[in-house]
Amino acid sequence: MTRWAAHVVIATAVALALIAGLASTNFAQGRPVTIAITGDAETMDPMLSAISTTFSVQRHIMEPLVDNDPDARVVPVLATSWRALDTLTWEFKLRPGVRFHNGEPFNAESVKFSIERSRDHARSLLKAYVSLIKEVRIVDDLTVRLVTSEPSPDLVANLANNVYMLPPRHAREVGDEGLARRPVGTGPYRFVEWVRDDRIVLEANPTYWGPKPQATRVTIKPIPEGATRVAALLAGEVDVIESVPIPDIPRVTRSGGYRVLRKQGPRLIFLAMDVHRDRGGRHPAGSPGLPEGAPNPFKDVRVRQAIYHAVNTKEIVEQVMGGAATPAEQILPPFMFGYNPKVRRPIYDPSRAKRLLAEAGYPNGFSVRLDVTTDRYVNDREVGLALVGMLKRVGIDVTLNGMPRLIYFPRMRAFDTSFQMSGWLTLISSSNWAALLGCVDPKTGYGRANYGRYCNPELDRLIDIMRTEMDEKKRLEAFHKAAELTRQDVGKIPLYFEELTRGVKAGIEMPVRVDEYVLAADIKFR
Amino acid sequence: MTRFLVNRLLQMVGVFLIISMIVFMLLVLTGDPIELLLPPAADINQVEALRTQLGLDRPWYVQYAKFVRSALRGDLGTSFYFHEPAVRLVLQRLPASLELVVWTMVVSTLLAIPLGVLAATRCGTWLDRGVLVGSLVGISAPTFWIGIVLIAFFVVALGWLPSSGRGGWEHLVLPVATLAFYRVALFIRLIRAGMLDVLGQDYIRTARAKGLFERLVVYRHALKNTLIPFVTISGLQMGGLIAFAIVTEKIFAWPGMGRLLLISIERLDYPVVVAYAIVTAALFVVINLTVDLLYALIDPRIRYE
């Protein structure tokens, strides 16, 4: 053997030594179930986080009084029934015979403790859901009354959003530090182990009050990179993955032995226009996306209608989103309370759009900057590019301004925009209306995502009704009227709803939940 | 020697102050995390209330002054999301990052030294050219791409290795290979260039003339004298790896500091980003110090008075 050959052998031997012996190891895991989600939980304290991946992990261990079913309908969990006694008082009957994992009984005391902690803990991020609850009154061991400071028809829907029940004695003993690390709840799974950023291990709760889950031991692995999640699924390391990247969907379905489950989600992607300032110019006095001194075309409803007609949502969904979205008829998806089946989006009609622009005094169109995120929504930048092309066809000259979300959202909140594309999602219908189209006003608290500052007093009155009217029929009427009004006055231009996806091994059945949680208790083996 | 060390420590404090200030200013000027922290159901008043509660409505220098005051008491702040001391979060993830870095450095060095020496001693042959072209590929290929290709091949196609996570040997192979790719290539070029320099010197000719074995000449006399630049670059690479193996940690879901940094930047978790910057700066200082001390060991002409 020559000397250089010896060098090569040394070098390759080091490389091979690392791989040697590994081929015999089998990494495939069957049951118990392993689920790959997009990120780790930050804490096991249910009141100190409001991030959906964290809730998704916690929901295995802890339970709310009521929950959203996979289709966003409110269903009983630890409460068996509820009714409004008067406009300010809700009565909940609690499920009897339920115990926490540490043996503590679940009762009215736990409800009082948990709701008060969500409302009063200095760092609670759930205040929005319970801020209207003035008092939690214990009637008997299994009956509580929630007294609100104003009529709150959405109270039950708010509680369905992650106000989980904690065992009061345990919570007082271990304190915040303990709740953050070792969660105790009433849920279908008990907490076993948590290795930060690597895995969360759970085992089925043998004394669970509800149907026993089929997956008995659960490992939840945070894998942030989409391509790696898909690889882990295809290599048989995990059984279920959250969110399959659009380009990978065909790869998973073609591979055999794996399926992609899909469902229309509640996240709306929409366009909004500055309808507040009169002229273009430097922010904040002028509208920053329009030429200096130019009149703001968006103040004319015909221009807003023209844009609505000029956008071909079907093409965006098919060409840019790979079919993984559904065109939006209005700001709410069909499965949510308050959807108006009579309101449809206007047809795609560029010549009508041109006519409307001419009528509004812009026969040759105008120039504007469109602000979009580049890292927040699925294919956000690409959709922005498609919009530029579509608006060009009717004479509107759009400059695309893509920004990372870190820069985008603070600017939006400061209204430093003339024309923008964003997304919004809650499972509380009235809250969507208030955030997206309510006049920005500290008196009402409305307008959190109303970056174009659309303001219509008539619509605000309807939103007030949505939020306080206890009569369900009158309330629904307000929703329906609001959808019609917004369709005519074009306060926002709804584009589409993103689709939710899960990758699963063949033989696993599970619903895709609209709240985006991936719950092992939902898994059924065939 | 003592004075040298004390000087270095004083420099370190200065470095911490400057780094934390720059990071703080950039973060606060970028925006605040409220939009991501609060659920969408929160209204504009609740948004403002939390901003005030966390002190995020104040100008950056006021926030920074507050940070320095608590830092002097040993409190570098609490994460907005984890509700834990930021330094603890960073240090918890340090062992995982170090594991990745140490193995990458070991593997890169063990592969690069023989190949670099080989290329130098066979200068101009097809073997040398082969090694050079190979290292060019290694330097040019983006980390992200290497990682994905390795996963596609070894995980999905062959099923030999796990895709992600931390655990035994098998979990280390792919992330270490991904990180080592560039380093091997870089080190090969470094050693080859250094060796070519040294091999032409008089004392090598003398050693050969004395009739020493070629291997002894190459490894004892020549290689040892190319180590100074190698140790410098290795130190820099090591610091860089600890701090910025971010992409690799994300791809392989490695529970290290890089992944924490990434998510903390994405969510503007200022206290964690600042704590991370300080821990990283401290590591760089320690590594640089080690490199300096190693010089003295390798080259007797270097002394620290």
Name the CA radius of gyration of chain B, rounded.
Answer: 24
State the pLDDT confidence band at B305, using cuts at 50, 70 and 90: low
| pLDDT exceeds cutoff 50 at A20 | no
pLDDT the model gives residue A363: 94
Helix A168-181 × helix A108-120 angle, to 10°: 50
Compute the nearest-CA separation of B205 from chain A (Å).
20
pLDDT in tens, A352-411: 999 999 999 999 999 999 999 998 899 999 999 999 999 999 999 999 999 988 889 889
Give the closest-approach CA distance of B238 to chain A in angstroms: 20
User: Cα torsion at A26, A29, A30, A32 (round to 10°)?
Assistant: 140
Contact between residue A265 and residue A332 where contact means Cβ atoms under 8 Å apart: no
pLDDT at B46 over 70: yes
Q: What is the pLDDT of residues A225-264, one digit of tens each?
A: 999 999 999 999 999 999 999 889 998 998 889 999 999 9
Per-residue 3-state assignment (H helix, E strand, C coil) for chain B: CHHHHHHHHHHHHHHHHHHHHHHHHHHHHHCCCHHHHCCCCCCHHHHHHHHHHCCCCCCHHHHHHHHHHHHHCCCCCECCCCCCEHHHHHHHHHHHHHHHHHHHHHHHHHHHHHHHHHHHHCCCCHHHHHHHHHHHHHHHCCHHHHHHHHHHHHHHHCCCCCCCCCCCHHHHHHHHHHHHHHHHHHHHHHHHHHHHHHHCCHHHHHHHHCCCCHHHHHHHHHHHHHHHHHHHHHHHHHHHHHHHCHHHHHHCCCCCHHHHHHHHHHCCCHHHHHHHHHHHHHHHHHHHHHHHHHHHHHCCCCCCC
The dihedrals phi and psi of A279, each to the nearest 5 degrees, come to -135, 160
Residue B107: closest C-alpha in chain A: A14
Contact A18 B173 (CB under 8 A): yes
From chain B, the residues in CB contact with A223 under 8 A are 163-165, 253
Give DSSP secondary structure letters for A367-425.
EEEEEEESSSSTTHHHHHHHHHHHHHHTT-EEEEEEE-HHHHHHHHHTT--SEEEEEE-
Considering only CB atoms, B40 lies closest to which of A224, A407, A435, namely A435
Q: How many CB atoms lie within 10 A of CB B29?
A: 10
Residues 6+ apart with CB under 8 A from A267: A377, A423, A424, A425, A497, A498
Say if CB A131 and CB B46 are below 8 A apart: yes
Query: Under a CB-based contact definition with an 8 Å cutoff, are residues B261 and B273 in contact?
Result: yes
- Pairwise pLDDT comparison (B140 vs A418), residue with the higher score: A418
Q: Between B284 and B243, whose confidence is greater? A: B284
Q: Please check the confidence at residue B21 and state whether its pLDDT lies above 70.
A: yes
Is residue A7 within 8 angstroms of chain B, CB to CB?
Answer: yes
What's the rounded Cα separation, in Å, for the pair A27 and A235?
9
Where is average pLDDT lowest: A54-58, A217-221, A356-360, B127-131?
Answer: B127-131
Q: Is the pLDDT of residue A478 over 70?
A: yes
Rounded mean pLDDT of B79-101? 92
Q: A180 contacts in B (CB within 8 Å)? A: 83-84
Q: How far apart are CA A23 and CA A20, in angstroms?
A: 7
- Distance between CA B119 and CA A474 in Å, rounded? 84
How far apart are the C-alpha atoms of A162 and A50, rounded to whole Å? 9
Residue B249 has pLDDT above 70, yes or no: yes
CA of B273 vs chain A CAs: smallest distance (Å): 14
Closest Cβ opposite residue A14 in set B111, B251, B263: B111
Amino acid at A246: I
pLDDT level of residue A21 (50, 70, 90 thresholds): very low
Residue A180 to residue B84, Cβ atoms within 8 A = yes
Q: Which amino acid is at B285?
A: V
Per-residue pLDDT, averaged over A176-198, amounts to 94
Q: Say if B134 is an interface residue toward chain A (CB within 8 Å).
A: no
Write the residue in B41, B115, B170 that is nearest to A161 by C-beta.
Answer: B41
Mark yes or no for CB contact B114/A176 under 8 Å: no
Residues A520 and A33 sit within 8 Å (Cβ to Cβ): yes
CA dihedral A458, A460, A464, A469 (to 10 degrees): 40
Interface of B with A in 34-93 (CB under 8 A): 35-48, 53, 79, 81-84, 92-93
Q: Which residues contact residue B284 at a Cβ distance below 8 angstroms, ignoring those fewer than 6 apart?
A: B239, B243
Which H/E stretch holds residue A79?
strand A79-86
Question: SS3 of A121, please?
Answer: coil
- Whether A223 sits inside 8 A of B255 (CB atoms) is no
Q: How is chain A split among helix, strand and coil, in percent rounded to 5?
A: 35, 25, 40
pLDDT in tens, A407-455: 898 899 899 999 999 999 888 999 999 999 999 999 999 999 999 999 9
ipTM over 0.90: no
B164 touches chain A (CB under 8 A): yes
Q: Name the amino acid, one letter, at B94.
A: L
Please give the DSSP secondary-structure letter assigned to residue A82.
E
Cα–Cα distance measured from residue A458 to residue B132, given in angstroms and rounded to the nearest whole number: 73
- Say how far apart CA A303 and CA A242 lie, in whole Å: 40
Most B-contacting residue of A8, A12, A19, A194 (CB-CB within 10 A), to test interface: A19
pLDDT at A84: 94
Write out residues 409-438 of A within 8 Å (CB-CB) of B.
409-410, 413, 424-426, 428, 431, 434-435
The CA-CA-CA angle for residues A204, A210, A213, to 5°, reads 35
The predicted pLDDT at position A8 comes to: 52
Closest partner residue to B83 among A48, A409, A449, by Cβ?
Answer: A48
CB contact under 8 A, A4 and B118: yes
Burial class (CB in 10 A: 0-12, 13-18, 19+), B211: exposed
Nearest by Cα to A225 from A209, A245, A201, A205: A245
For range A502-512, the mean pLDDT? 93
Coil vs helix vs strand at A464: helix
Comparing A87 with B213, the larger pLDDT belongs to A87
pLDDT at A22: 38
Residues of B in contact with A39 (CB under 8 A): 263
Contact A238, A221 (CB under 8 A): yes
Give yes or no for residue B176 having a pLDDT over 50: yes
In whole angstroms, how large is the CA radius of gyration of chain A?
26
Which one of B32, B38, B83, B247 makes the best mutation probe of the A interface by having the most chain A beta carbons within 10 Å?
Answer: B83
CA atoms within 13 A on the CB side of A57: 35
Distance from CA of B11 to the nearest CA of A (A): 33
Residue type, A33: V
For residue A488, what is the enclosing H or E element? helix A472-489
- Picking from B30, B43, B54 by the largest number of A CB atoms within 10 A of its own CB, the best residue to mutate is B43
Question: Quick check: pTM over 0.80?
Answer: yes
B295 vs A30, more confident = B295
Q: How far is it, in rounded angstroms, from Cα B14 to Cα A506?
A: 58
Which pair of tokens denotes residue B146? 């290497």
Highest mean predicted confidence (pLDDT) among A14-23, A294-303, B49-58: A294-303
CB contact set of B88 (below 8 Å; sequence gap of 6+): none
- Subunit contact A448:B43, Cβ cutoff 8 A: yes
From the number of C-beta atoms within 10 Å of its C-beta (0-12, 13-18, 19+), residue A109 rates as: middle
The helix (run of H) or strand (run of E) holding residue A88 is: none
pLDDT of residue A4: 53
> By the CB < 8 Å criterion, does A9 face chain B?
no
Give mean pLDDT, residues A56-60. Answer: 95
Chain B from 180 to 219: CB within 8 A of any A CB: 214-215
Nearest CB neighbour to A406, from listed B110, B262, B268: B268
Most confident range, picked from A439-453, B153-167, B180-194: A439-453
DSSP code at position A19: H
Amino acid identity, position A98: V
DSSP state of A190: E
Residues of A in contact with B40 (CB under 8 A): 424-426, 431, 435, 448-449
Q: What tens digit of pLDDT does each residue of A382-398 get?
A: 999 999 999 999 999 99
Report the amino acid identity of residue B201. Answer: Q
Rounded CA-CA distance A148/A88 in Å is 5
Q: Which residues of A253-271 are buried (b: 16+ CB within 10 A; e: fewer)?
A: eeeeebbbbebbbbbbbbb
Contacts of residue A15 in chain B, CB cutoff 8 Å?
Answer: 107, 111
Stretch (H or E) spanning A472? helix A472-489
Please report which confidence band the pLDDT of residue A26 belongs to, taking 50, 70 and 90 as the band edges.
very low
**Chain A residues 43-62 with a CB less than 8 Å from chain B:** 43, 45, 48-51
**Tens of pLDDT along A98-111?**
999 999 999 999 99
Q: What is the rounded average pLDDT of the residues B237-255?
A: 86
Q: Is the pLDDT of residue A331 over 50?
A: yes
The pLDDT > 70 percentage for chain A reads 94
User: Span B22-47, mean pLDDT?
Assistant: 86
Can you tell me whether residue A222 is helix, strand or coil?
strand
Residue of A1, A2, A3, A7 to mutate, interface with B, max B Cβ within 10 Å:
A7
Calpha distance B40→A424 (Å, rounded) = 8
pLDDT at res. A1: 41
Classified as helix, coil or strand, A428 is: coil
A180 and chain B in contact, CB less than 8 A = yes
Q: Which residue of A has its CA nearest to B160?
A: A23
Q: Looking at the complex, does the CB of residue A236 fall below 8 Å from at least one CB of chain B?
A: yes
